[in-house]
Structure 1
Amino acid sequence: MLSKRMKICLITGALLGVVCIVGASVRSGFQSEVYFLFALWYNRVILGLVIGLTGRGLNLPGSVVRGAALGLVVSFAFYSSIGFTDTVSFLAGVLYGMIIEYVAFKLDVGKGMN
């Protein structure tokens, strides 16, 4: 069974993945390949999964920094696989890691570490 935190992180990652798809489509003049857009979305879902696997941090600032670090690591996998060509999406992954962690911290109201 999925924890509340995991559900929050996966849903937030999937929604941010849609935002990424829209952004990448607009930046490319709607010329991006479907497989590229799917991979970008999937990367955000994986980011949500990775963040969801971590326990709830003791404080919000530390959790957000951890989200940024995990966003950097997970997004680097996508960034390197596309030949280091989409820097905006890579940097967005860092921001999205922070957002996922923030949302999870605020909505998963349990105390302390999970």
Structure 2
Amino acid sequence: MKNRMKAALIGGALLGIVCVVGAYVRSGFSATPVFVFSLWYNRVIIGLVVGAPWGETVRNKALLRGALLGLLVSFAFYSSTEFQDPISFVAGIVYGVLLEGWLRRTGKTRKL
């Protein structure tokens, strides 16, 4: 597994933990374990697609790519919740941008 993919998966898993803690608090500590796991797993999948070996591009295009990938993956979760969790949907877009920005900053985007 390449360094970019490893870093992105770890980043997605860590952002997933942050996200599920927020969702659990927002739900009044009543979120089901299935919901919490699904949300965390969705963030890992964002890490997977953002961490794919994409070609070199300028920073702004890479960040836009992260936002688009975050949107596409988050929409799957958002639609499965019957559009009841817009905060998690928007957070997925932000997480895509954060992951892409972090990977570029740490030099994990070099051709591997």
TM-score (norm 1): 0.92
Number of aligned residue pairs: 112
Q: Which residue of 1 aligns with 2:6?
A: 7
- Superposed displacement of residue 107, structure 1: 1.5
Q: Percent identity?
A: 50
Q: CA RMSD in A?
A: 1.4
C-alpha distance in structure 2 between counterparts of 1:82 and 1:43, whole Å:
12
Q: Do 1:14 and 1:41's aligned partners in 2 also have CA atoms closer than 8 Å?
A: yes
Q: Which moved more, 1:54-63 or 1:23-32?
A: 54-63
Listed as ranges, the gaps of 5+ residues in structure 2 are: none
- Superposed displacement of residue 54, structure 1: 3.9
- List structure 1 runs of 4+ shifted beyond 4 angstroms: none
1:92-111 mapped onto 2 (5 Å cutoff): 92-109=91-108, 111=110
- Superposed displacement of residue 61, structure 1: 1.3
Q: Do 2:4 and 2:53's aligned partners in 1 also have CA atoms closer than 8 Å?
A: no
Residue aligned with 1:53, SS: coil
Q: Which residue of 2 aligns with 1:30?
A: 29
Listed as ranges, the gaps of 5+ residues in structure 1 are: none
Residue aligned with 1:92, SS: helix
TM-score (norm 2): 0.93
